[in-house]
Structure 1
Amino acid sequence: MTQASRSKRVSGSARADLVISLLLVAAAVALPFLVDSRYVLGQVVLALFYATIASQWNLLFGFSGIFSLVQMAIFAFGGYVTAMICFYFGWNVWAALLPGALAAVVFSLIIGLACLRLTGVYVALLTLAIAQTMYLLIVTDTECFTMVGSICRQFTGGAVGFARFGDLGTRALLKGQWLVGNYAIVAALFAVTMTFTYVIVKSPIGLAFRALKDNPGYAVARGVNRFQAQLLVFGISAFFTGLAGGFYAAHFQAIGPGILSLSQLLFIIAIAVVGGVGTFWGPLVGTVVLVAADELMREMGEFRTLGLGLIIALSVILMPKGLVGRLGDLVHWLRHRNGTAPKTKFQENPAAAGK
């Protein structure tokens, strides 16, 4: 592929991403006017949280090759710090969100320093152990830290967690329409997260991340510092994941250790796998598919989990690249069939094939 055809393909991809983004913005603006059900709108807000977390896990694994299983722990850490600042110091939630996100970054960098010297499955095992240790430390916290009225509260909230420490202010401002306000805030958070992720992926830093994933030896030989680059992507991912955790706690006005359950982590990974690991729009597509499927099977009882497992299994077997990857292959096939695919240098100049 020549430089001109490569540039044409990149610009075409950027235009497609821009069109998709504009359509999504239009759909996001129209959604509150089209949906009357508070339950449905609440599920959309929850899905946006899932998509945000999955997009940052995809940045770690899909684009950088770091198979971390600590993503929900970072999400919970950001939410817990935000809730604890509000609960113990009486801060406004909006003032506590940034410290919560920065605390999640510090937490992730400590984890990174501990595990990024490792590779592959060892990173996964160590990060999973850290997440499970965090869960156990919270649920086994029974020591009285402070008295709230006549109730003794643990430092981490223990198995109960924290509740009613503040909200995003939409209840007082919008009254009965507060959920629409929260939806707008969470949708804006998702949009900012995806925009920043897109800039990172398309930048020279993102190229270094992908090089370390595809061919670490070659990337290091070309001057990429593997440890520094992977620590950087760990911190970037943690900032938006921790920020989403703070917004999650503020939206529900509660946060507890249940968010650290293994099922939550596996659901996030399944979202990325079904949508397409290493594709920009994969986490969003995977969220739409799995959340919709989960809702449709809600009345199926124990078969609900079986149905989700079947969808994930079929996706892995039939679409290893995920839905977005399969769609990309289909578009590429149609272009070749119609003769619009970019030509190689031998197709452009047959005489070159004999040289």
Structure 2
Amino acid sequence: MSMVKRNATPLIFLLIALVVPLVTDNQYYLYILTLAFIWSIAIYGMNLISGYTGQLTLAHAGFFAIGAYSLGLLTVDVNVPYWLAFLLACVITTVAGLLIGLIALRTKTHYFAIYTLCVGYIIYLIIYQWDELTGGVRGLIGIEPPGAIGPITFESAESNYYLVLAFLVLTIVFMKFITESLVGRTFVAIRNSEELAQTIGINTMKQKLLSFVISTFFAGMAGALYASFVRFIGPEISYTMTMFDMLTYLIVGGIGTMYGPLVGTFLIVTLTQSLQFMEEYRMLIFGPVLVLLVIFYPRGIVGGIQMWKAKRQYKKQQKMAKQASNSSTYGGGD
């Protein structure tokens, strides 16, 4: 019963997500929601290494772009079947993450953040300058949509919506499993104190590398889904501003929380799209709102809710303990 109660809110949101295409035929709404789901997958990967393991990475936009361009090049230039190209895109991104992580994770704290920021910018420059391979500033056009799975095709907005939603659910289930496992507790131990983790026998380099590689896998997977959904990609998806957008999604939602990536991404993506009619003036509204969120919810929206619940539970326990103490005192007097 307690497990059902604990998972009631996510199940309600999943039910709402499942029925959205059934109650609206607005293609634009489905487009925005699908984009929010795709970015959420990438932010979940970023949250694992930055939120749970405590290693702030600023290269995830680059890994997102590697996944997107890998799928685009494999399907457009090499004519690889979609699902094989999708798998290879995830593998290519993961291998790139492994090679970069072996070097990057030898640095610590802000040096790691600076190093990964440089790596992300180098990836952007390669995509922008290597015109013969990536198309340079022109980008890639005509990327294949997801291939059919038996009789199921993914040519409509509704089918793409459900496909990306399925990948998002699998991502959340995997993240919940790994963060609640011994491996996840090891990640948290490294975040809390890497020196202490080493003294109790944890191979911190190995565990940080594992977390980093898993996070890049999800960034690559999100990038591949993005490429096949939008069907056009350019170097801007790997630019530094995109990286800081992703970091904003994570901080606003709640870094180091299970549902922070989803809440932050959904909130900011939908809010920015709702203010598109204001063009450049939309930042006059979005900026102050973001500042207020950071001031009053420094642990993000989900983190703030968790703190509020913890304080409420603590006060309730204190009240019950006080009542029990008073009861025993009066009972002893009798």
| TM-score between the two structures when normalised by the length of structure 1 | 0.85
SS in structure 1 at match of 2:137: coil
Indicate the residue corresponding to 1:89 in structure 2.
Answer: 78
Task: Give the length in aligned residue pairs.
Answer: 327
Indicate the residue corresponding to 2:114 in structure 1.
Answer: 125
Indicate the residue corresponding to 1:73 in structure 2.
Answer: 62
Indicate the residue corresponding to 2:275 in structure 1.
Answer: 297
Structure-2 change in CA distance of 1:156 and 1:296 (3 Å): closer
Counterpart among 242, 245, 248 of residue 270 in structure 1? 248
TM-superposition CA deviations, 1:265-306 (whole Å, max 9, x none): 111111111111111111111122212321232222222123
Q: CA deviation at 1:59?
A: 1.0
Question: Is residue 112 of structure 1 aligned with residue 90 of structure 2?
Answer: no
> Are the counterparts in 2 of residues 335 and 341 from structure 1 also a CA contact under 8 Å?
no
Counterpart residue identity of residue 140, structure 2 = F
TM-superposition CA deviations, 1:211-243 (whole Å, max 9, x none): 000011111111111110000001111112111
Larger mean Cα displacement after TM superposition, 27-36 or 331-340: 331-340
Q: CA deviation at 1:15?
A: 4.2
Q: CA deviation at 1:311?
A: 2.1
Question: Is residue 60 of structure 1 aligned with residue 38 of structure 2?
Answer: no
Indicate the residue corresponding to 1:44 in structure 2.
Answer: 33
Counterpart residue identity of residue 44, structure 1 = L
Q: CA deviation at 1:21?
A: 2.8
Gaps of at least 5 residues in structure 2 are 329-334
| TM-score between the two structures when normalised by the length of structure 2 | 0.90
Indicate the residue corresponding to 1:4 in structure 2.
Answer: none
Q: What CA distance in whole angstroms lies between the structure 2 residues aligned with 1:217 and 1:341?
A: 38
> Are the counterparts in 1 of residues 143 and 227 from structure 2 also a CA contact under 8 Å?
no
> Are the counterparts in 1 of residues 61 and 243 from structure 2 also a CA contact under 8 Å?
yes
Indicate the residue corresponding to 1:134 in structure 2.
Answer: 123
Structure-2 change in CA distance of 1:85 and 1:17 (3 Å): farther
Q: What CA distance in whole angstroms lies between the structure 1 residues aligned with 2:319 and 2:167?
A: 37
Higher helix share: 2
Structure-2 change in CA distance of 1:27 and 1:167 (3 Å): same
- 4+ runs of 1 displaced by more than 6 Å? 173-177, 340-344
Q: CA deviation at 1:164?
A: 1.4
Indicate the residue corresponding to 1:250 in structure 2.
Answer: 228
> Are the counterparts in 2 of residues 49 and 244 from structure 1 also a CA contact under 8 Å?
yes
Indicate the residue corresponding to 2:313 in structure 1.
Answer: 335
Question: Is residue 237 of structure 1 aligned with residue 215 of structure 2?
Answer: yes
Counterpart residue identity of residue 79, structure 1 = A
> Are the counterparts in 1 of residues 43 and 219 from structure 2 also a CA contact under 8 Å?
no
Q: What CA distance in whole angstroms lies between the structure 2 residues aligned with 1:264 and 1:219?
A: 33
Percent identity between matched residues is: 29
Counterpart residue identity of residue 274, structure 2 = L
Counterpart residue identity of residue 121, structure 1 = H
Q: CA deviation at 1:46?
A: 0.4
Counterpart among 117, 127, 146 of residue 168 in structure 1? 146
Q: CA deviation at 1:251?
A: 1.2
Structure-2 change in CA distance of 1:43 and 1:236 (3 Å): same
Structure-2 change in CA distance of 1:232 and 1:179 (3 Å): same
Question: Is residue 206 of structure 1 aligned with residue 184 of structure 2?
Answer: yes
Counterpart among 308, 315, 326 of residue 293 in structure 2? 315
Larger mean Cα displacement after TM superposition, 298-307 or 333-342: 333-342
Q: What CA distance in whole angstroms lies between the structure 1 residues aligned with 2:174 and 2:147?
A: 26
Q: CA deviation at 1:157?
A: 1.9
Q: What CA distance in whole angstroms lies between the structure 1 residues aligned with 2:159 and 2:144?
A: 15
Q: What CA distance in whole angstroms lies between the structure 2 residues aligned with 1:220 and 1:327?
A: 32
> Are the counterparts in 2 of residues 92 and 166 from structure 1 also a CA contact under 8 Å?
no
Larger mean Cα displacement after TM superposition, 320-329 or 288-297: 288-297
Q: What CA distance in whole angstroms lies between the structure 2 residues aligned with 1:342 and 1:28?
A: 39
Counterpart residue identity of residue 248, structure 2 = A
Counterpart residue identity of residue 106, structure 1 = V
> Are the counterparts in 1 of residues 154 and 160 from structure 2 also a CA contact under 8 Å?
no
TM-superposition CA deviations, 1:84-122 (whole Å, max 9, x none): 111232111111111110110110111111110101111
Alignment of 1:182-197 (within 5 A): 182-197=160-175
Q: Aligned-pair RMSD on alpha carbons?
A: 2.7
Q: What CA distance in whole angstroms lies between the structure 1 residues aligned with 2:250 and 2:143?
A: 32
Structure-2 change in CA distance of 1:265 and 1:307 (3 Å): farther
Q: CA deviation at 1:188?
A: 0.5
Counterpart residue identity of residue 292, structure 1 = T
Gaps of at least 5 residues in structure 1 are 1-10, 143-153, 351-355
SS in structure 1 at match of 2:134: coil
Indicate the residue corresponding to 2:332 in structure 1.
Answer: none
